[in-house]
């Protein structure tokens, strides 16, 4: 029910049998496969442009330099201003933090209400949510722009937070619903007999049990929201443009000359926040899934 | 009195640019010039606008489609920028039809555009007798760039006509070089096709194709030979070309790994960034069978219709500044394009640009670019067919022509 | 009093309901409506019936996109599941450096494809990618040019997508594996069942919940596949690796053909609903799906 | 909180969508009574319990507890407490918090909470576990805590939903006694759902046997055991199961007679429910312990022992009467080997006769 223990299976580590050597060899090859693109990005970011033009993508830089990193952070041009991608960093945080909190809150409550309470029409609502999860969300942008401008929500942090909530809702609801649905229903009944109402059961019993799944949700949402470019661009307003808009400006120019070292450095810099979240919470991530996200 | 939105913009301007918040003539401009060179170019506009008393609020969004989407969304959503960039041509037709753009008739009259701008460009921004956008530059789209070093090594003279081209490519090939550096993405595949069509077919055929959608012409022998020429070029590109970025193709020329590349004049930016000068390390030319056929596109700024009169003033000021001779020449230098004004002194531009400024002044030497003639929907549909034809060795010329003819006769 | 709790449930669902009604259903009905008009760059209200749909069906690029997404979806989901499960099973063998390995396999998921796609394109490029590296190492006959071959390009997208998502699958599977009752392992060892058979016939069925979650997550990313195609091949060579979402985006924004784009989006929507509705209905009508007061 | 405890179901109906689960059930449970709802899984007993608790909405009828119509009340306002099969302890709370959660929700004064938790935990011998989390408890301890959580509510009616099914045999009987003792001590009404007939027989004042979402028989354990109203009740209650012989019943001049291929049993004193007896196919049932071994008796039947099962307290012999299988309960010290022959009597007053077609008791 709780306190999922994470004990690895299999034989205890002993001497290296041929089978285990094979296992390590396979894992090493896989790790290599996974790391190669990162390696390419890293060495490219350390090279100068003439060396990149040579086309030896796997070669270690002849004169490794952090110049591109400096340029990406401080001085790369992203339009008229040449202040690098750091410009949007604070904006990205200002968008991300409330968006993550609000979207997860709404998703958790919705998932909870759908799993235990099943009011009339719940299936239809859930069906709509799942259907939306499969539709490219760019399709929604245009009508939403119209709706938002009617409501006066355009170009504001609340507006972009609402957008992230809208598009995070299907996945968040899904994982929370699945998590809660996997919990024994008797727990819910016991709480009702104890006199707890809708919110009390949620706050005192279900939410504490959902802590690991919340970590999963945070990781998914941090990645999604941090990497978002199009919503930030369209709904955040120019005072709140996130970092990815700068990244896109560096990376996606159609006719301008391209500096791959700066692009790679900028990408790696932009990915720092989700990467840190992953590495720090990797353990929690697995544990969170273990606690029930996968059941149901 | 400020609306809340403009107050917000003022705050934004202070944060982003630390510029004086002059409420009077503040212009927020959406454009897609984001790279280093482009950035320097757009700074010319901003500086000149500032010198004229305005405040330039910069909203740069890389990728033409991204920037246009953002601008159109905001305009339709009731929160338009002061000005927005389009490619010269039909990209803003729908905005005009929906009466979302303000005309710049007064400006056009005051500066006498008919006299100072190429006629095709004035026509390209005119709808129903009103002028709706300010052209700011001209990009030639059908240049052939070549590496002097590579040509020298293969013992080839720079080609001067389409007849010259193929023997030169053969020689480059036998010298072990990539004859034609190519970036196999749909728009460049279309651009190459346009290069062949303009170069071998000339102005009339080009316009008959994109503008008049002349199906009979498409089924004729001349068009067929153009199609065959195009496909013949495929023998001279390297196997790595599909999906390649245009600048990586240019990079092959820069390194002397490849002999030549068909590309627009913006490719000069890559050469410049690699420390090369036109006429010295590399050359530029336009191949044409029927006199000169210089394919001219460019960029314009359009101005959404606004309620706020102070913003309208800013629009007028911006429209004026964009076309001032000093702005024009400085911008062209930085951007690698040529001034849209015909009456400015182009001696300070590079050799390629100087060559082009002669053609720009001569209406007979010009071909309006693809975007000027056809709406994006049609362009895209044709582009898909061209791209398929280029990449699919089993697709016959007949099939291609039939598909193109069908698409041209559809409604767009 | 009973009304009280039910009211609370409805109040709690109000935001989701509002979002579903206004944002989802509103936007979807708008999309469906527009698909019956002749809209170009901006929506128009000129009704043209099914014209957009008939040109969509006749559109070769759309046909290719649909075929591609089927191939991609099938391969990507099955390969990501297999690799993810394999990695999880191997990592679960008490290997050294488990935390590091897990992070290595998981990190691609944190990165957007805007630039990782470029790194992938370089690696697969026959002129300076893996092919060249192998040839420089002396394997003169080494050939790997799938990304530039129209009939193979879609498979390179699968490879990059698997790279991106396999770590997530691994994490889900790993968590599932660690929820397996230790007694089961003892039992199978006593019975002398070979390990691979245990995984295949006992563990996999046990983890069907994990598989379901993973499949749903992977499936949503298949339907939304866009960035990867743009960054790696831009749909090429030719139209060989085009996908439906990219068809919609290109026509919506770049090509100013909103009518055709919304017709394509509507077709996608109908397909999704046609798949999901029976599943939901089936799930709902199972015994045990109870309604509580 | 009301401590009234008589429960009354009046025409209760539950439906899930188009499927009728119950149609107009009536049931009266007296104050302080221990009623067991007994039946196989899927018979609807848990749903009925949930309906009483207010956890399942009823579509028709009324539920009364004491003198209040609670049909539309929240579970917490019905004066009930409930214990679940899976314990349903709140995993993130320690035992103390588990016990006091309901009281806190009801804003009971702190001292009162303290007092009730102490009383309950002492009564159940879990006082030293108060600071532990459920994960740190054994199954038996968890169920004690779950019962404790019901105790502190000080309710008039206790509802048990198969509370012992997840426990092993020894713990089960231990807790069974505990529950019985609690019932005596508290004098509260208890409604207890189980599929285990032993629990039912040992605990209940009255048993309601359910099958296919209807009551088959409601009565004291004795009645249920001795005079099952139909073949289902007869089979479901009692272990080892009742013996059955198929045959015919026919009225004769000497009174009714049961006939099968190998048996002829006159039934002069069998208490038929209906006075007029017509010829019909029937099943005759007799419990193993009601078979009398009588080596000396004149009219005894002879059976052949096939196998014997020592049960500790007694011995069960599996025998054959002609070609009919018959189990016989014997004293534990009886020595039997397969092939032995026994002479037995089948006492008429222990018979249960069921109509072969309807299964109803005759």
> Would you list the DSSP string of A146-188?
HHHHHHT-TTSHHHHHHHHHHHHHHHHHHHHHHHHHHS-HHHH
Q: Which two tokens stand for residue B372?
A: 């000027």
Which among A87, A88, A247, A255 is the top mutation candidate for probing chain B, defined by the most B β-carbons within 10 Å of its own β-carbon?
Answer: A255
Contact A238 B36 (CB under 8 A): no
List pLDDT tens digits, range D246-270.
898 888 887 888 888 878 888 888 8
What is the pLDDT at residue C2?
Answer: 52
Q: Which two tokens stand for residue A113?
A: 């209400």
Rounded CA separation D162/D45 (Å): 10
What is the pLDDT at residue C92?
Answer: 82
Question: Phi and psi of D246, rounded to 5°?
Answer: -85, 145
Give DSSP secondary structure letters for D192-210: EEES-HHHHHHH-SEEEEE
Q: Are strands B137-140 and B143-147 parallel, antiparallel or unpaired?
A: unpaired
Which residues fall within 8 angstroms of residue D97, CB to CB, at 6 or more apart?
Answer: D90
What ipTM did this prediction achieve? 0.80
- Asked if the structure places residue C43 within a domain, the reply is no
- Decide: A119 and C10 in contact? Cβ < 8 Å: yes
CATH number (3.40.190.10, 3.30.365.10, 3.40.50.920, 3.20.20.70) of B146-295+372-408 reads 3.40.190.10
What is the pLDDT at residue D280?
Answer: 86
What is the pLDDT at residue B18?
Answer: 38
pLDDT at residue C290 is higher than 70: no
Rounded CA separation D67/C265 (Å): 61
List pLDDT tens digits, range B285-334.
999 998 899 999 999 999 999 887 778 889 999 999 999 999 999 999 88
What is the pLDDT at residue B369?
Answer: 95
Hey, which chains touch D, using 3+ CB pairs under 8 Å? Answer: A, C
- Asked if the structure places residue C271 within a domain, the reply is yes
Classify residue B112 as exposed, middle or buried by CB count within 10 Å of its CB (0-12, 13-18, 19+).
exposed
Rounded CA separation B175/B303 (Å): 53
pLDDT at residue C289 is higher than 90: no
Residues C106-133, mean pLDDT to the nearest whole number: 83
Question: Phi and psi of D160, rounded to 5°?
Answer: -115, 125
CB proximity D127 to C under 8 Å: no
pLDDT at residue B7 is higher than 50: no
Tell me whether the omega of the peptide bond preceding residue B155 falls within 30 degrees of 0, making it cis.
no
Closest CA to B62 of B26, B45, B38: B38
Contact A113 C12 (CB under 8 A): yes
What is the pLDDT at residue A241?
Answer: 87
B207-216, C280-289, D246-255: which range is least confident on average?
Answer: C280-289
pLDDT at residue A292 is higher than 60: no
CATH code of residue C158: 1.10.3720.10
Give DSSP secondary structure letters for B245-305: -HHHHHHHHHTTSEEEEEE-GGGHHHHHHTT--BTTTEEEE---SSS--EEEE-EEEE-B-
- Asked if the structure places residue C6 within a domain, the reply is no
Q: Are strands D60-65 and D243-252 parallel, antiparallel or unpaired?
A: unpaired
Rounded CA separation B70/C270 (Å): 28
Contact pairs from chain A to chain B, CB under 8 Å: 137
Long-range CB contact pairs, D218-222, < 8 A, 24+: D218/D27
Contact A194 D153 (CB under 8 A): yes
Rounded CA separation A283/D240 (Å): 54
- Asked if the structure places residue C53 within a domain, the reply is no
- Asked if the structure places residue C138 within a domain, the reply is yes
List pLDDT tens digits, range C39-85.
888 888 889 999 999 999 999 999 999 999 999 999 999 999 999 99
Q: Are strands B282-285 and B143-147 parallel, antiparallel or unpaired?
A: antiparallel
Contact C239 B72 (CB under 8 A): no
What is the number of domains present in chain C? 1
pLDDT at residue A117 is higher than 90: no
Q: Output the furthest CA–CA distance in chain D (Å, rounded).
A: 78
Q: List the strands of the sheet with B366-368, edge to edge.
A: B338-339, B137-140, B294-297, B366-368
Q: Where in chain B is the domain with CATH 3.40.190.10?
A: 3-140+296-370, 146-295+372-408
Neighbours of B255 (CB within 10 A): 17
CB proximity D74 to A under 8 Å: yes
Average pLDDT over chain A reads: 83
What is the pLDDT at residue A146?
Answer: 80
Chain C partners within 8 Å of A287 (Cβ): 175
List pLDDT tens digits, range B218-231.
999 999 999 999 99
List pLDDT tens digits, range A199-258.
999 999 888 877 767 877 887 898 889 988 888 888 888 888 898 888 888 887 767 778
Q: Which domain holds residue C246?
A: 60-284
What is the pLDDT at residue B17?
Answer: 39
CB proximity C96 to D under 8 Å: no
Rounded CA separation A66/C142 (Å): 35
- CA quadruple D1, D3, D4, D9: dihedral sign: positive
Contact C122 A263 (CB under 8 A): no
Residues D18-23, mean pLDDT to the nearest whole number: 76
What is the pLDDT at residue A92?
Answer: 93
Residues in a beta bridge with D238: none
Residue of D nearest to A200 (CA): D105
Chain C partners within 8 Å of A178 (Cβ): 213
Rounded to the nearest angstrom, the minimum Cα separation between B347 and chain A is: 24
pLDDT band at B11 (very low <50, low <70, confident <90, very high): very low
Rounded CA separation D162/D36 (Å): 10
Residues D120-142, mean pLDDT to the nearest whole number: 89
Hey, which chains touch A, using 3+ CB pairs under 8 Å? Answer: B, C, D
pLDDT at residue B13 is higher than 70: no
Q: Which two tokens stand for residue A170?
A: 């299907």
Classify residue C124 as exposed, middle or buried by CB count within 10 Å of its CB (0-12, 13-18, 19+).
buried
B368 or A151, which is more confident? B368
D touches A, CB cut-off 8 Å, minimum 3 pairs: yes
- Decide: A189 and D84 in contact? Cβ < 8 Å: yes
What is the value of pTM for the model shown? 0.82
List pLDDT tens digits, range D48-82.
999 999 888 888 899 999 889 999 888 888 889 99
- Domain B3-140+296-370, CATH: 3.40.190.10
Rounded to the nearest angstrom, the minimum Cα separation between A156 and chain C is: 18
What is the pLDDT at residue B65?
Answer: 85
C230 or A284, which is more confident? C230
Residues 33-52 of D with CB under 8 A from A: 50
- Decide: B287 and B199 in contact? Cβ < 8 Å: yes
Residues 97-136 of A with CB under 8 A from C: 106, 109-110, 112-114, 116-119, 122-123, 125-136
Task: Give SS3 for B183.
Answer: coil
Partner residue opposite A7 with nearest CB, options C178, C224, C284: C178
- Decide: B376 and B87 in contact? Cβ < 8 Å: no
What is the pLDDT at residue C182?
Answer: 64
Residue labelled with tokens 């809208």: A166
List pLDDT tens digits, range A15-69.
678 888 888 999 999 999 999 999 999 999 999 988 888 888 888 999 999 999 9
CB proximity C271 to B under 8 Å: no
- Asked if the structure places residue C75 within a domain, the reply is yes
- Decide: C103 and A282 in contact? Cβ < 8 Å: yes
Task: Give SS3 for B342.
Answer: coil
Partner residue opposite C40 with nearest CB, options B94, B388, B389: B94
Classify residue D298 as exposed, middle or buried by CB count within 10 Å of its CB (0-12, 13-18, 19+).
exposed
What is the pLDDT at residue B302?
Answer: 96
Residue of B nearest to A251 (CA): B62
pLDDT at residue B9 is higher than 50: no
- Decide: C213 and A216 in contact? Cβ < 8 Å: no
Query: Which contiguous run of DSSP H or E holds residue B43?
Result: helix B36-51
Cα R_g (chain D), whole angstroms: 24
**Distance between first and last Cα of chain B:** 44
pLDDT at residue A182 is higher than 50: yes
Task: Give SS3 for B73.
Answer: helix
For C190-249, the three-class secondary structure string (H helix, E strand, C coil) is: HHCCCHHHHHHHHHHHHCHHHHHHHHHHHHHHHHCCCHHHHHHCCCCCCCCCCCHHHHHH
CB proximity C71 to A under 8 Å: no
Q: Please tell me the number of Cα atoms within 13 Å of C186 on its side-chain side.
A: 3
Residues 167-206 of A with CB under 8 A from D: 184, 186-187, 189-197, 200, 204-205
What is the pLDDT at residue A296?
Answer: 26
Residues D4-28, mean pLDDT to the nearest whole number: 84
- CA quadruple A232, A233, A238, A244: dihedral sign: positive
Classify residue D253 as exposed, middle or buried by CB count within 10 Å of its CB (0-12, 13-18, 19+).
exposed
Question: Phi and psi of C153, rounded to 5°?
Answer: -55, -35
What is the pLDDT at residue A295?
Answer: 31
Chain C partners within 8 Å of A293 (Cβ): 172, 175, 213
Rounded to the nearest angstrom, the minimum Cα separation between B296 and chain C is: 20
Neighbours of D41 (CB within 10 A): 10
- Asked if the structure places residue C130 within a domain, the reply is yes
Domains along the sequence of chain A with CATH: 18-65 (no CATH), 86-292 (1.10.3720.10)
Neighbours of B323 (CB within 10 A): 22
What is the pLDDT at residue C149?
Answer: 87
Give DSSP secondary structure letters for C120-166: HHHHH-TTTSHHHHHHHTT-TT----GGGSTTTHHHHHHHHHHHHHH
What is the pLDDT at residue A286?
Answer: 56
Rounded CA separation D253/C236 (Å): 101
B38-47, B91-100, C197-206, D102-111: which range is least confident on average?
Answer: C197-206
- Asked if the structure places residue C196 within a domain, the reply is yes
- Decide: D110 and A151 in contact? Cβ < 8 Å: no
CB proximity D81 to A under 8 Å: yes
- Beta strands (DSSP E) in B32-78 are 55-60
Residues in a beta bridge with D316: D309, D329
Contact B391 C237 (CB under 8 A): yes
CB proximity C235 to B under 8 Å: yes
What is the pLDDT at residue C189?
Answer: 76
């Amino acid at each position: 029910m709780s306190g999922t223990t994470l004990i690895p299976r299999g034989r205890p580590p002993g001497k290296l049998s041929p089978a285990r050597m094979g296992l390590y060899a396979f894992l090493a090859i896989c790790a290599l496969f996974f790391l190669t693109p990162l390696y390419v990005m890293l060495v490219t970011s350390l090279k100068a442009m003439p060396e990149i033009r040579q086309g030896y993508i796997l070669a270690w830089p002849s004169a490794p330099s952090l110049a591109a990193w400096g340029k990406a952070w401080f001085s790369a041009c992203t339009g008229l201003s040449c202040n690098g991608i750091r410009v949007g960093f604070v904006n990205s945080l200002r968008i991300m933090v409330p968006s993550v909190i609000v979207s997860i809150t709404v998703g958790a409550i919705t998932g909870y209400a759908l799993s235990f309470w099943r009011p009339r029409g719940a299936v239809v609502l859930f069906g709509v949510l799942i259907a939306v999860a499969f539709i490219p969300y760019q399709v929604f942008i245009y009508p939403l722009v119209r709706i938002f401008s009617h409501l006066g929500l355009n170009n504001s942090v609340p507006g972009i937070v609402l957008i992230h909530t809208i598009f995070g809702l299907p996945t968040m609801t899904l994982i929370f619903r699945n998590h809660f649905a996997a919990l024994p229903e008797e727990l819910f009944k016991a709480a009702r007999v104890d006199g707890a109402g809708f919110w009390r059961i949620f706050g005192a019993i279900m939410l504490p049990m959902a802590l690991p799944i919340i970590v999963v949700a945070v990781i998914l949402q941090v990645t999604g929201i941090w990497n978002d470019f199009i919503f930030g661009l369209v709904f955040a307003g120019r005072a709140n443009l996130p970092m990815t808009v700068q990244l896109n400006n560096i990376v996606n120019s159609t006719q301008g000359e391209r500096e791959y070292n700066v692009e790679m450095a900028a990408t790696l810099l932009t990915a720092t926040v989700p990467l840190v979240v992953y590495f720090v919470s990797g353990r929690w991530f697995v544990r969170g899934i273990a606690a029930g996200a996968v059941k149901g | 009195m400020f609306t809340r939105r403009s107050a917000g913009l003022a705050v934004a301007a202070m944060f982003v640019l630390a510029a004086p918040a002059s409420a009077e003539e503040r212009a927020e401009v959406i454009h897609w010039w984001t790279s280093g060179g482009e950035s320097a170019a757009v700074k010319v506009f901003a500086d000149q606008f500032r010198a004229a008393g305005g405040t330039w609020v910069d909203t740069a969004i890389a990728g033409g489609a991204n920037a246009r989407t953002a601008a159109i969304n905001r305009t339709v959503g009731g929160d338009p920028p002061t000005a927005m960039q389009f490619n010269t041509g039909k990209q803003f037709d729908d905005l005009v039809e929906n009466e979302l753009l303000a005309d710049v008739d007064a400006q056009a009259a005051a500066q006498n555009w008919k006299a100072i701008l190429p006629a095709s460009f004035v026509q390209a921004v005119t709808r129903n007798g009103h002028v709706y956008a300010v052209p700011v530059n001209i990009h030639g789209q059908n240049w052939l760039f070549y590496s002097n070093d590579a040509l020298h090594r293969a013992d080839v003279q720079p080609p001067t006509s389409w007849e010259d081209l193929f023997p030169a490519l053969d020689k480059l090939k036998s010298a072990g070089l990539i004859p034609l550096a190519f970036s196999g993405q749909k728009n460049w595949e279309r651009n190459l096709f346009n290069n062949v069509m303009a170069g071998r077919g000339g102005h009339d055929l080009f316009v008959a194709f994109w503008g008049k959608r002349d199906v009979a012409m498409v089924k004729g022998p001349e068009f067929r030979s153009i199609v065959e020429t195009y496909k013949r070029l495929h023998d001279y590109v390297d196997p790595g070309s599909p999906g390649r970025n245009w600048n990586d193709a240019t990079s092959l020329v820069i390194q002397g790994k490849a002999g030549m590349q068909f590309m627009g004049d913006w490719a000069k930016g890559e050469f410049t960034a690699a420390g090369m000068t036109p006429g010295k390390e590399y050359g530029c030319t336009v191949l044409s069978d029927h006199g000169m056929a210089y394919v001219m596109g460019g960029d314009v700024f359009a101005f959404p219709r606004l309620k706020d009169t102070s913003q309208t003033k800013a629009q007028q000021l911006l429209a004026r500044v964009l076309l001032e001779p000093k702005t024009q020449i400085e911008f062209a230098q930085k951007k690698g394009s040529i001034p849209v004004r015909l009456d400015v002194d182009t001696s300070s531009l590079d050799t390629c640009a100087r060559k082009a400024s002669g053609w720009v002044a001569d209406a007979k030497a010009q071909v309006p670019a693809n975007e000027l003639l056809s709406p994006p929907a049609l362009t895209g549909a044709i582009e898909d067919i061209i791209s398929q034809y280029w990449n699919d060795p089993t697709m016959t010329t007949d099939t291609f022509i039939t598909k193109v003819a069908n698409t041209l006769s559809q409604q767009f | 009093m009973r009304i009280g709790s039910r009211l609370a449930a409805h109040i709690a669902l109000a935001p989701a309901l509002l979002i579903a009604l206004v944002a989802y259903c509103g936007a979807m009905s708008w999309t469906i409506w527009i698909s019956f008009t002749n809209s170009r760059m901006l929506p128009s209200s000129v009704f043209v019936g099914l014209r957009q749909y008939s040109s969509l069906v006749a559109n070769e690029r759309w046909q290719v996109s649909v075929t591609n997404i089927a191939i991609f979806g099938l391969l990507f989901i099955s390969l990501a599941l297999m690799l993810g499960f394999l990695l999880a099973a191997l990592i679960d063998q008490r290997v050294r450096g488990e935390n590091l390995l897990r992070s290595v396999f998981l990190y691609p998921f944190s990165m957007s494809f805007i630039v990782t796609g470029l790194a992938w394109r370089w690696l697969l490029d026959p002129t300076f990618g893996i092919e060249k590296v192998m040839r420089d190492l002396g394997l003169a006959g080494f050939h790997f040019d799938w990304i530039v071959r129209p009939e193979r390009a879609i498979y390179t997208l699968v490879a990059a997508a698997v790279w991106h998502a396999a770590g997530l699958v691994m994490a889900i599977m790993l968590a599932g594996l660690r929820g397996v009752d230790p007694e089961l392992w003892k039992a199978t060892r006593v019975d002398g069942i070979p390990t691979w058979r245990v995984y295949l016939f006992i563990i996999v069925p046990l983890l069907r919940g994990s598989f379901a979650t993973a499949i749903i997550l992977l499936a949503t990313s298949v339907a939304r596949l866009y960035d990867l195609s743009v960054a790696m091949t831009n749909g090429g060579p030719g139209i060989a690796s085009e996908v439906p979402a990219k068809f919609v985006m290109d026509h919506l924004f770049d090509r100013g053909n909103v009518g055709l784009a919304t017709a394509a989006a509507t077709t996608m929507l109908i397909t999704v609903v046609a798949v999901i509705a029976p599943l939901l209905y089936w799930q709902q009508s199972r015994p045990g799906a109870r309604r509580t007061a | 909180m009301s401590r009234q405890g008589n429960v009354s179901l009046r025409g209760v109906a539950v439906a899930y969508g188009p499927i009728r689960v119950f149609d107009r059930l009536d049931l009266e449970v007296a104050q302080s009574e221990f009623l067991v709802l007994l039946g196989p899984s899927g018979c609807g007993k848990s749903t009925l319990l949930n309906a009483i608790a207010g956890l399942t909405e009823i579509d028709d009828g009324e539920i009364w507890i004491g003198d209040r119509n609670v049909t539309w009340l929240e579970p917490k306002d019905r004066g009930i407490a409930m214990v679940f099969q899976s314990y349903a302890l709140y995993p993130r709370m320690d035992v103390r918090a588990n016990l006091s959660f309901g009281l806190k929700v009801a804003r009971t004064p702190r001292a009162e909470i303290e007092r009730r938790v102490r009383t309950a935990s002492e009564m159940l011998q879990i006082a030293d576990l108060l600071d532990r989390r459920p994960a740190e408890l054994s199954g038996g301890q968890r169920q004690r805590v779950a019962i404790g959580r019901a105790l502190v509510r000080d309710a008039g009616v206790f509802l048990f939903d198969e509370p012992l099914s997840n426990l092993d045999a020894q713990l089960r009987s231990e807790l069974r006694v505990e529950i019985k003792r609690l019932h005596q001590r508290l004098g509260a009404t208890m409604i207890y759902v189980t599929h285990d007939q032993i629990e039912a027989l040992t605990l209940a004042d009255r048993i309601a046997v359910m099958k296919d979402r209807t009551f088959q028989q409601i009565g004291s354990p004795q009645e249920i055991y001795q005079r099952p109203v139909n073949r289902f009740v007869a089979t479901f209650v009692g272990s080892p199961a009742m013996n059955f012989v198929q045959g015919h019943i026919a009225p004769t001049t000497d009174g009714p007679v049961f006939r099968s291929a190998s048996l002829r049993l006159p039934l002069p004193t069998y208490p038929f429910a209906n006075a007029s007896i017509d010829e019909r196919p029937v099943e005759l049932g007799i419990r193993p312990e009601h078979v009398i071994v009588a080596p000396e008796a004149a009219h005894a039947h002879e059976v052949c022992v096939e196998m014997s099962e020592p049960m500790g307290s007694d011995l069960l012999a599996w025998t054959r009467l002609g070609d009919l299988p018959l189990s016989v309960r014997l004293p534990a010290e009886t020595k039997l080997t397969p092939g032995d022959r026994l002479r037995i009597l089948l006492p008429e007053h222990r018979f249960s006769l069921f109509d072969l077609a309807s299964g109803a008791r005759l």
